[in-house]
Chains A and B, each alone.
Chain A
Amino acid sequence: MVTTWIAARISPGRVGAVLGRNLGALRSGPAYWLVLVSGFFEPLLYLLSIGVGVGALVGELPVGGRSLDYATFVAPAMLAVSAMSGALAETTYNFFFKMKYMKTFEAVLATPVRPVEVALGELGWAMVRGSVYTALFLVVMVALGLTSPLGALAAFPATVLVGLAFGALGMAVSTLMRGWQDFDLMSTGQFALFLFSGTFSPVTDYPAALQVLVQLTPLYHAVELVRGPAIGEAGWGLLPHVLYLLVMMAAGLLFAARRLQRTLMV
């Protein structure tokens, strides 16, 4: 009931206006096309270095009863990481800057736009930006023979869900930040997830206790959800990962909207 009440009061036009403001702000900076497109190169470089370079040292990797080429194993994980970090970059550093220093949201809220619409607009913008990167990356994966075109089509919606879940989490975390130093802790956490979520080697390599711990963290579910379709192993087994990310997205959005309401509408 609460959700329908909220939904009835959300206007797509106002959410779109928040999104449009972000596009305009990006275009006002220098070399914006280059900055925008260059975000795609980061995971690609990791793929070439770790996937291809280190992959040549690794050779084949036993994963779930079959043998995978190392680059085929790493590529979907880089894709999931790219979806995560694309969404987080936008909803943490940029979001925090707009909230605390630029007072952008206070200006926005002086118009008919409401806090939940700000949250949705910011998330929407993060998704537009992140999806450009993941789509390009999938094209590269198909070109390098690391996934099939069908696998890429199936993996794309998975990356969108990953972006939505991490974007919502990022906004929720941003509303709690005290200053830039707190972001150092956040990026440490993000880097630890990057290293230990079954990204570079299968989680079954880890000791049992560590495996359980990893399975509680979000990037593990993102990697599994993206890797399944990319290597042609999609099935009902992916459902728990979908549920995990959906809950994370809903909780993050509600929390962020409430905090925005409380801190900005006094």
Chain B
Amino acid sequence: MAAPALGLSVRSTLAVLERGLTLYRRLWRASLFGSFVLPVLFLISIGIGVGGHIGQVGGVSYLAWIVPGVMASTAFQMAVGECTYPILGDFKWTRGFHAMRATPVEVGDMVCGHLLYILIRVQIAVVVFLGVTALFGTLHSPWALVTPLVCGLVALAAAAPTMAFAASIDHDSYFALLFRFVMIPATLFSGVFFPVDRLPGLVRPLAYLSPLWHGVELNRAATLGAAPPWPVAAHLGYLLAFTAAGLAWALHAFGRRLQD
């Protein structure tokens, strides 16, 4: 069989999005915890509990300092989570993508429809989270309103390559390696909990490679009303380039897998 076309049509993409939202209607109660309750519990334990022993970081309370980081890492983790088992499952167990292939839906629609679905999920979670943190008095600038956009970009940058990875593997035990060697280190060492300039000089460039770091710094600049360490255009450019590369890889991986 010839390689499936990479075409992209608005109607088919929206159909893939609709399928995601239909499935989500049956799961949203359970996901409420992951996307909203857990980050708030996290803020209370680390931000207030540990923060009580820290005092100020960069001129603000530790809680105000980690809020933008936790927000970006929530988007990051949510995006990775939605692109591991669900994607492999639709190739391997439920064969949802093979079913789509039998319709006018093409590879580009499948990838973009799923990314749109993730974007919607992330926006809801981030906007609610932003509202709660505003009550804690941790937002110091009206620029905080752009954080949902930054989180959306972080989610796309994380989701696209993860989708490609999930479409390229045969066994789900590789996800354990992805979580432990990529996702968790990226979360723990991207300036969410402590400034990256405290990392040893040799490791620091690795943090700069992580899209999460760029999202964290943009978010933090927005909620605290300060300038980020790199020019805003550089941070945004890196996130966009990362997303574009991930997208290209995902389209390629989906196309290959649907050839059989």
B173 at the interface (CB under 8 A from A): yes
Which of B38, B46, B52, B188 contacts A188, CB < 8 Å?
Answer: B38
Which of B30, B170, B176, B189 contacts A38, CB < 8 Å?
Answer: B176
Residues of B97-144 at the interface with A, using a CB-CB cut-off of 8 Å, are: none
Please give the distance in Å from A71's CB to the nearest CB on chain B: 13
Q: Are B34 and A200 in contact (CB under 8 A)?
A: no
Q: Are A184 and B33 in contact (CB under 8 A)?
A: yes
Closest to B34 in A: A184
A24 to B72, CA, bound (A): 41
Residues of B161-186 at the interface with A, using a CB-CB cut-off of 8 Å, are: 170-171, 173-174, 176-177, 180-181, 184-185
Interface size on B, residues (CB 8 A): 35
A201 at the interface (CB under 8 A from B): yes
A201 to B48, CA, bound (A): 10
Residues from chain A with a CB closer than 8 A to the CB of B49 are 200-201, 205-206
Known contacts A30-B171, A184-B30; A49/B194 CB under 8 A: yes
Of A119-127, A139-147, A155-163, A189-197, the segment with at least 4 beta carbons within 8 Å of chain B is: A189-197
Closest to A195 in B: B45
Contact residues of A: prevailing secondary structure: helix
Which of A38, A46, A70, A188 contacts B37, CB < 8 Å?
Answer: A188
Residues of B22-54 at the interface with A, using a CB-CB cut-off of 8 Å, are: 27, 30-31, 33-34, 37-38, 41-42, 44-46, 49-50, 52-54
- Binary contact track A165-195/B, C-beta < 8 Å → 1, others 0: 0000000000000000100110010011001
Residues from chain A with a CB closer than 8 A to the CB of B193 are 49-50, 53-54
Please give the distance in Å from A100's CB to the nearest CB on chain B: 15
Known contacts A184-B33, A205-B49; A56/B184 CB under 8 A: no
Closest to A59 in B: B53
Which of A45, A58, A188, A191 contacts B54, CB < 8 Å?
Answer: A58
Closest to B169 in A: A30
A172 to B193, CA, bound (A): 36
Q: Are B31 and A184 in contact (CB under 8 A)?
A: yes
Q: Are B171 and A29 in contact (CB under 8 A)?
A: yes
Q: Are A35 and B177 in contact (CB under 8 A)?
A: yes
A54 to B62, CA, bound (A): 10
A34 at the interface (CB under 8 A from B): yes
Known contacts A32-B173, A39-B180, A54-B194; A191/B38 CB under 8 A: yes
Closest to A196 in B: B45
A29 to B180, CA, bound (A): 18
Residues from chain B with a CB closer than 8 A to the CB of A184 are 30-31, 33-34
Residues from chain B with a CB closer than 8 A to the CB of A200 are 45-46, 49-50
For the A-B complex with A49-B194, A54-B194 known, give 12 more contacts whose Cβ atoms are closer than 8 Å: A35-B177, A42-B184, A50-B188, A50-B193, A53-B199, A56-B194, A56-B198, A57-B54, A181-B30, A188-B38, A191-B41, A206-B49
A-B contacts, 10 listed (Cβ < 8 Å): A31-B174, A38-B180, A38-B181, A41-B180, A53-B188, A53-B189, A57-B62, A184-B30, A195-B42, A200-B50
Residues of A participating in the B interface, judged by any CB pair closer than 8 Å: 29-32, 34-35, 38-39, 41-42, 45-46, 48-50, 53-54, 56-59, 61, 70, 181, 184-185, 188, 191-192, 195-196, 200-201, 205-206
What 8 A-B pairs have minimum CB-CB distances, sorted nearest first? Answer: A49-B188, A195-B45, A53-B194, A184-B30, A201-B49, A188-B33, A38-B180, A57-B54
